[in-house]
Amino acid sequence: MLADRWGVTDAETRAEYECDRYVANPSLEAWRGVTVHATKERLWPWLLQIRLAPYSYDWIDNLGHRSPRELHNLTDPEPGDPFSASAGRSLGRIVAVDHQVQLTAQIIGAHMSYRLTPINDRTTRLILKVVSPQSFRLVAALLSLGDLVMARRQLLNLKRLAES
């Protein structure tokens, strides 16, 4: 499918992700990945910040409000907690969390898993996989393209913040 991969290896696309448990026969599978020159311990708190704001293009996803650039010392969410927020409004919900390993959420019918995989003692791979059900098959290509633009910016912002 168009725009289904960015920054990931073939092995990363063949791996199992937590989101796969929630969508049995997806119409869309999309992977995005970035190498972060920081430990998973340093990256994880920034990933949790998605609960406060989208960290993509704030002028689109956050109605012009800037995503926080300082850590808020958030604790790990529980399943059922809100996943993200835009302009102070909660969006989606958390469905699974494994501390400093993965965070899985559901939003607008799609499920997504963020996975942190240490490469060495100073570098971590941050992979995002998005799956959507068959009911989205007619819009899957557009969803994939839009997600590529927004998720790429989100991952690059999280990378920059964790590395600083």
3-state helix, strand, coil in the chain (%, to 5): 30, 30, 35
State pTM to two decimals.
Answer: 0.87
For the record, the structure tokens of 133 come out as 């059900």
CATH number among 3.50.50.60, 3.90.25.10, 3.30.530.20, 3.30.70.20, domain 5-163: 3.30.530.20
Mean model confidence pLDDT for the chain: 85
Asked if 153 and 57 count as a contact pair (C-beta separation under 8 A), the reply is yes
Write out the two tokens for 142: 């557009």
Share of the chain above pLDDT 70, in %: 79
- Window from 107-116, 126-135, 142-151 with minimum mean pLDDT: 142-151
Paired tokens of 14: 């063949």
Residue 28 tokens read as 């869309």
Domain boundaries, the chain: 5-163
pLDDT in tens, 9-44: 999 999 999 999 999 889 889 999 999 999 999 999
